Structures are given as structure tokens and as C-alpha cells.
Amino acid sequence: MSIACTMFNLMTVIDALLTTRILVQFIGQIGAVIWLRKNSPQLHRPFRLWLYPLPVLLALVGWLYLFATTDGQTKLYGFLVIVLGVIVYFFFARHTRRWPFASAKQ
């Protein structure tokens, strides 16, 4: 993937990686926090998020706005990086016989 990225302008690569990070990490973490609080309310949490869910929703709106204002070509490159990463993951998972290719006996 690194070799392929050398064929693009450095700012394009950085923008695409930031777009990917917004989708996978930042928006993904927001979804995980909401899912975890809904599905595992009994889980011990060493801290409290004041005014929940307001900070989570404000962060989500901010990240979605930032993603929406990104130009279309950068969004396309970001999605391509995600798709390529998923393909590489499934290839690796199949090769090492991990989820979802693990047998039911394990």
C-alpha cells in the first residue's frame, strides 16, 4: 500500500488518511461508546461522561461536518484505503484461519 501511495501527491495521501481516520477511528469510537453503554450498562467504568449523550452527539456532528466538507476525490481515496484494508485483513484472516474463517471447533 505504501508503494502505491508514492504515486500520489503527498497532500492527497495525507488527506485520504485523515478521511479514513475520521471514519474508522473517530466516528467508530463514538458508535462504540453508544453501543457499549446501551448493551453493557453493568460494566465497571472508572470515569463518567458528564451530560451524556450531549458530548457524544456534539463530537459526532463535528466529525460528520468535517467529513462532509472534504472534497469528493479525497473521500474516494479514503474509501479505497478502507476497502483495501478490509481485503488485506480478510486475506490475512483466511491465511491464519482466524475469524471469520476459523472452524467451529476452536
Q: How many domains does the chain have?
A: 1
pLDDT at 55: 94
In order of 85, 89, 93, 99, the CA distances from 96 in angstroms are 16, 10, 5, 9
Q: Can you tell me the distance from the alpha carbon of 62 to that of 88, in angstroms, rounded to the nearest whole number?
A: 30
pLDDT at 104: 63
State which residues form the domain around 52.
Answer: 2-96
Residue 51 lies in a domain: yes
Q: Can you tell me the distance from the alpha carbon of 25 to that of 79, in angstroms, rounded to the nearest whole number?
A: 14
Residue 106 lies in a domain: no
Mean pLDDT by 10 residues, the chain (106 residues): 82 85 89 91 86 93 91 86 88 90 69
Residue 105 lies in a domain: no
pLDDT at 105: 61
Residue 41 lies in a domain: yes
Question: pTM for the full model?
Answer: 0.72
- All cell numbers assigned to 22: 475520521
pLDDT at 24: 87
